[in-house]
Amino acid sequence: MVEVLELSGSGEGPDAARAAGVLERGGLVLLPELPFALSEAERTFLDPAVLAPKTKNVSYDPGTGAVGGTSAQGKAREGLGRMMARYAAFATALLERLAPGYAQALQVRRTSLRPGAVDTRVLSPRKDDRRLHVDAFPASPVQGRRILRVFTNVNPHRQARVWNIGEDDFETLAERLGPAALKPRTLSPWLMERLRITRGRRTDYDAAMLALHDGIKLDDAYQAQAPRRRMAFPPGMSWVVYTDGALHAALEGQHALEQTFLMPVSAMEDEARSPLRILERRAGRALT
């Protein structure tokens, strides 16, 4: 069973001490009373017209302040960047309350605004996030670090964001990977970095996670039969999940903000539960 911990207010209180454990076991932490308030001017950024052609997300890099994926220029672009910087700070503060032990180790990565509806076009199964999957980044190797994400539904029309959460835990998912997916790779990671196909070296861990992501998404029988639970996240709700460990699919919804963090497994309360350590136990060797 997927664990779901619901916290009142902005996530203070005694139950918050359970949050890291729930997340590390593949569960979700929900904050139904933690909206991200937008100013009148910021509400205009919810219009999908803010997107650059052929993009799905406005992205913000908290490290450099760069805003991408948008057609907005000048003052509007600056305002968009400020809103997203504020969301990055909001998400960081939330994790500092929920998991103080993570605070020193969290690496703040991309902030994204998803103004459009969950894509209902026919996509290739590999790209279709309506199919159950665990996250793995083809172009940005994580090299064993966890992917921890904070989401907030900022829909102005009472529309919930709807996910399926798979009931299989990561240990069960990992059993899908045969020895071929876990065997050492030699030249190609170096070459992919040199050719700038990847930002940073793709480790054996990254390769195994991509194989798992694709294997799950392309398995029609598994997609049809996997035990799952449908969850709705109404406007004004924030939620937190390790998306590399928890099986999920985005089904419906429009207008979400999302903040990605990477974190070394050594900062977890129990790193033995990390995808890295689970896959390493299966491989019988280090994967980074």
Least separation in angstroms between CB 250 and Fe ion: 7
Q: Is residue 135 part of the contact set for Fe ion (CB under 5 A)?
A: yes
Structure token digits, residue 116:
């459009």
Three-class DSSP category at 212: helix
Q: Is residue 244 part of the contact set for Fe ion (CB under 5 A)?
A: no
Least separation in angstroms between CB 160 and Fe ion: 18
Three-class DSSP category at 86: helix
Least separation in angstroms between CB 278 and Fe ion: 19
Integer Cα distance of 204 and 269 in angstroms: 24
Integer Cα distance of 204 and 209 in angstroms: 9
Give the range of 77-85, 131-139, 207-215, 229-237 binding Fe ion by CB under 5 A: 131-139
Tell me which residue has its CB nearest to Fe ion: 135
Give the range of 67-75, 127-135, 189-197, 198-206 binding Fe ion by CB under 5 A: 127-135
16-to-34, 99, 183 alpha-carbon distances in Å: 14, 8, 40
Nearest to 145 by CA among 242, 37, 72: 242
Integer Cα distance of 39 and 72 in angstroms: 17
Element (H, E) at 146: strand 146-153
Q: Is residue 258 part of the contact set for Fe ion (CB under 5 A)?
A: no
Least separation in angstroms between CB 285 and Fe ion: 28
Torsion of CA 216, 220, 221, 224, to 10 degrees: 100
Least separation in angstroms between CB 149 and Fe ion: 8
- Binders of Fe ion: how many residues, by CB under 5 A? 1
Nearer to Fe ion, 3 or 129 (CB): 129
Q: Would you mind telling me the total number of residues written for the chain in this entry? A: 288
Give the range of 18-26, 119-127, 132-140, 209-217 binding Fe ion by CB under 5 A: 132-140
Nearer to Fe ion, 133 or 273 (CB): 133
Nearer to Fe ion, 149 or 282 (CB): 149
Q: Give the binding site for Fe ion (CB under 5 A).
A: 135
